[in-house]
Amino acid sequence: MYRRKDTNTETDRKPNTDTETNIKTNTDTETADRIMAIMKEHPAITVKKIAQQLNLSVGGVRYHVNKMKKDGLVEHIGSSKKGTWLIKN
């Protein structure tokens, strides 16, 4: 037997999206900080090796790296094989 859900909008509550957004933002910031720390220690490291060290997907690391590039936090100098990471402060 199924129960009908009352559709009283005043008693229905939506999830707190601000909290969810803050959690995602904090996680993104922590991941970006970890990636930059690795880049500082090993400027010639590849995205693939960063992903392996952090146990993340290559696509996930690439997402964060591209976002950091767009925000002006990091720059890759040289070719993709022999280049190095420059952390901007």
In this predicted structure, the answer to whether residue 70 has a pLDDT above a threshold of 90 is yes
In this predicted structure, the answer to whether residue 9 has a pLDDT above a threshold of 60 is no
Comparing 11-20, 55-64, 78-87, the range with the smallest average pLDDT is 11-20
Question: How do the domains of the chain map onto residue ranges?
Answer: 21-87
In this predicted structure, the answer to whether residue 72 has a pLDDT above a threshold of 90 is yes
18-63 per-position pLDDT tens digit: 655 555 566 688 999 999 999 999 999 999 999 999 999 999 999 9
Q: Give the DSSP per-residue string, 51-70.
A: HHHHT--HHHHHHHHHHHHH
CATH 1.10.3720.10 fits 21-87, yes or no: no
Measuring CA to CA, how many Å separate 8 from each of 11, 12, 14, 15, 34? Answer: 6, 6, 13, 16, 46
| pLDDT of res. 75 | 96
The length of the chain is 89
For residue 16, give every residue at least 6 positions away whose Cβ sits within 8 Å of its Cβ, in sequence order, or none: none
